Amino acid sequence: MTWARSFLNLISHTWFLNIIQDNFMDGKINLENTVETLKKFELPFNYTHVKHVFKKIIDKRKEHMINIEDFRAIYRAIVHRPEFLELFHAYAENSKTLAHGQLIEFLKKEQYETEECETTALGIILKYEPIQEVRKRSQLSFEGFIRYMASEECSVFKSHHRTVYQDMNYPLCDYFISSSHNTYLISDQLIGPSHLWGYSSALLKGCRCLEIDCWDGPNNEPVVYHGHTLTSKIPFRSVIQVIEKYAFEVSDYPVVLSLENHCSPQQQEVMADYLESILGEKLLTSTFGEERVTQLPSPEALKFKILIKNKKVGTVEESTLRRDLDSHGETGEVSESENVSDDDDSDDSATLCPQRGSSKRKGEGTHSAPPRKKAKVKKVKIALALSDLVIYTKSEKFVSFEHSQNHQKCYENNSIGEVRAQKFAKHSARDFVLHTSKFITRIYPKGTRATSSNYNPQVFWNVGCQMVALNFQTPGVQMELQNGKFLDNGGCGYILKPEFLRNRGSSFTPHDVGRYSKPMSLSIKLISGHQLPPSNLSKTNKADPLVQIEIYGVPEDQTKKKSGVIKSNALSPRWDETFSFTIQVPELALIRFCVEDEISLFSNEFLGQYTLPVLSLNKGSESINLVIIFTGYRNVPLLDKHGTSLKPASLFVHIWYY
């Protein structure tokens, strides 16, 4: 055993020297060369942390240079994580390598791998072991173990869910659909710029419903901007060209263009011409041949298709009869009491319902929303050329749940302002759930959100709203929830709703889950952090990090737990704290890990976060739930406020659920 240990020490030492020796031809190297040498190991590192460790080593030296032993110390400080070493030593008898059998034991006991463990173990060795001599022995050194534990295979997010795995053959109304509000804006709602980047950026994030505000422009060219404001204008034609280019870059599933149409019939015809000529075969221009539309098609049936959501004259069946006729120059009329602007919602300037636990005056907040004033009836002209491009997504003014149940067709959908929708979710949740089980419902921010702030989308996902439209340009918790939810199912922009939000006989309400509760106990041990982003207020890598673990879901599941603060350590903070959660409706739950720097007792600075769904419905069987979160030892990759990876910044956790 001693001989074997000495041999393993020798080959490990030789491997290390072979990688770096050419960089030490002159005996010593500076900081820049240290960084270049570290890159040879093909491991991610944060320059700020390397610089800090380098400066600690050369402190009080006259020259700012290091030798090989100094470099080894830097490498170990950055790469050789103590928490990984503890795990490794628990299974490596000789303390130097994991034999094939020991790795299998680790995978079964700690990572809860039960299927094809022998093959999995060999795959890990071949993929992650960097030392050839160890790899030939079918063993895993600590260097290989580090690489495996920090890999995507040990991510908290299940790799299987990085691809489309859900059944995509249900009707469109059975899916949550990633949706953007005022997609053309990249700043505020009043004076900020409109830009084509808003569309390309949203599509590259997997967004499947884009909003286009269309107004008459000069020279018979429609323009896109936020009407009656000082926001800049962009040509409608250019918007459609960008959409055509990026529509299916990250997802094959249908894109819905929600037109906020304020154009004259003449410029509506121009819009129709551009949609047909630019989008070509991608544009859906007819039904799938059914004589009468009684059910929406599925995302699978609509792959690589772009749908137009707009006001429509008459029914889909009537426009089908006109399909081969030249309708240019012809118009129809719709009544604005039935079809008005999506943003014409008088509740948008109303005060939000008081939050749970907030003080109220006597009698306030205890009754249903007051009846809305009857809309003034007037006729507006719609160009038939544009109207006939609306197939399965006809915009229909929401009147009431009862009216929709009695009169609304399956291809007619509603847009409801956030304030009015919040009142429905609070006072009429069961009716709301029944409505969204049948009809696509879009929620949009209230008009007073001049800074492009966002509402909490979870409230509306809880009642099954499909298109919960957010301002994608505005970072914050709301967009982190959006990005986390749609991380699932391959990031394709469509998430199959839970069965109780699709079943038209469901009595589910998020305020009283009753028989729909499937309690899940979740235990998370927060072990450590690794190369966390340094505080913006620190000139070194110092930060006082803490972690908040939050659950978003139905009201009963909403909770937040906070770790202790680790002083002056962003490189390798160690917590070893365990948090327990009971989740009543895991199908709707999201979990958010948020790392902050404690600035004072009253304020923290955001450092990074990661949000993901807790559960996902299994493909093919609605009675089985698959947990997206992996059990065992997992790394939690951190993202910045814009959703960009902060690699190698991460948390290390142990997760167990039952």
**pLDDT tens digits for range 495-540:** 999 999 999 999 999 999 989 998 999 999 999 999 999 887 665 5
User: Containing H/E element for 423?
Assistant: helix 418-427
**Residue 618 pLDDT greater than 60, yes or no:** no
User: Containing H/E element for 501?
Assistant: helix 499-502
User: Containing H/E element for 652?
Assistant: strand 645-657
Contact 476, 449 (CB under 8 A): no
- Beta sheet of 632-639, edge-to-edge order: 559-562, 545-552, 590-598, 604-613, 632-639, 645-657, 520-530, 574-583
The C-alpha atoms of residue 213 and residue 227 are separated, in whole angstroms, by 8
- Radius of gyration from C-alpha coordinates of the chain: 29
- In 319-474, the DSSP E strands lie at 331-335, 379-383, 394-395, 412-417, 441-444, 467-468
The C-alpha atoms of residue 379 and residue 174 are separated, in whole angstroms, by 33
**Alpha helix segments (H runs only) across 393-537:** 401-407, 418-427, 429-438, 458-461, 477-485, 499-502
Range of weakest confidence among 144-153, 343-352, 379-388: 343-352
| pLDDT average, residue stretch 388-403 | 96
The C-alpha atoms of residue 449 and residue 445 are separated, in whole angstroms, by 7
User: Quick one: DSSP state of residue 584?
Assistant: S
pLDDT in tens, 439-475: 999 999 998 999 999 999 999 999 999 999 999 999 9
Identity of residue 492: C
Tokens for 432, please give them.
């709301």
Helix 31-39 vs helix 47-58: angle between axes, to the nearest 10 degrees?
130
Tokens for 605, please give them.
């600075």
- Spatial CB neighbours of 262, under 8 Å, sequence gap ≥ 6: 213, 214, 215, 216, 227, 341
Q: Compute the Cα dihedral for 244, 249, 254, 255 and give only its sign.
A: negative
Helix (H, G, I), strand (E, B) or coil at 506: coil
User: Containing H/E element for 224?
Assistant: strand 223-224
The C-alpha atoms of residue 29 and residue 216 are separated, in whole angstroms, by 65
Query: Residue 306: phi, psi to the nearest 5?
Result: -115, 125
To the nearest 10°, the Cα dihedral for 641, 647, 648, 653?
Answer: 60
The C-alpha atoms of residue 322 and residue 314 are separated, in whole angstroms, by 11
Picking from 275, 265, 192, the residue whose alpha carbon sits closest to that of residue 231 is 192
Contact 126, 600 (CB under 8 A): no
Q: Which residues are catalytic?
A: 181, 226
Tokens for 312, please give them.
């429509």
**Residue 413 pLDDT greater than 90, yes or no:** yes
Q: What is the pLDDT of residue 503?
A: 95
pLDDT in tens, 551-598: 999 999 999 999 999 999 999 999 999 999 999 999 999 999 999 999
Q: Quick one: pLDDT band at residue 113, thresholds 50, 70, 90?
A: confident
Average of per-residue pLDDT values in the chain: 89
- Spatial CB neighbours of 435, under 8 Å, sequence gap ≥ 6: 401, 404, 405, 441
The separation between CA 179 and the C-alpha centre of its own chain, rounded to angstroms, equals 11
Contact 173, 466 (CB under 8 A): yes
User: Quick one: DSSP state of residue 368?
Assistant: P
pLDDT in tens, 33-81: 999 999 999 999 999 999 999 999 998 788 899 999 999 999 999 999 9
Q: Of residues 364 and 432, which shows the higher confidence score?
A: 432
pLDDT in tens, 322-357: 877 777 888 888 876 544 444 444 433 333 333 333
Identity of residue 129: E
Query: Residue 275: phi, psi to the nearest 5?
Result: -60, -45
Q: How many other C-beta atoms lie within 10 A of the C-beta of residue 287?
A: 18
Contact 440, 471 (CB under 8 A): no
Q: What is the pLDDT of residue 7?
A: 61
**Residue 360 pLDDT greater than 80, yes or no:** no
User: Quick one: DSSP state of residue 532?
Assistant: P
Q: Exposure of 517 by Cβ count < 10 A (0-12 exposed, 13-18 middle, 19+ buried)?
A: middle
Core vs surface per residue 540-566: b (16+ CB within 10 A) or e: ebbbbbbbebbbbbbeebeeeeebebb
Q: Quick one: pLDDT band at residue 366, thresholds 50, 70, 90?
A: very low
Contact 236, 222 (CB under 8 A): yes
The C-alpha atoms of residue 175 and residue 494 are separated, in whole angstroms, by 6
The C-alpha atoms of residue 537 and residue 531 are separated, in whole angstroms, by 17
- Spatial CB neighbours of 286, under 8 Å, sequence gap ≥ 6: 320, 323, 391
Q: What is the value of pTM for the model shown?
A: 0.90
Direct distance between the N- and C-terminal alpha carbons of the chain, in angstroms, rounded to an integer:
41
User: Containing H/E element for 546?
Assistant: strand 545-552
The C-alpha atoms of residue 302 and residue 386 are separated, in whole angstroms, by 20
Half-sphere exposure of residue 362, counting CA atoms within 13 Å on the CB side? Answer: 0
Query: Residue 477: phi, psi to the nearest 5?
Result: -55, -40
Alpha-carbon distances, residue 70 vs 53, 62, 118, 161, 569 (angstroms): 10, 15, 39, 42, 21
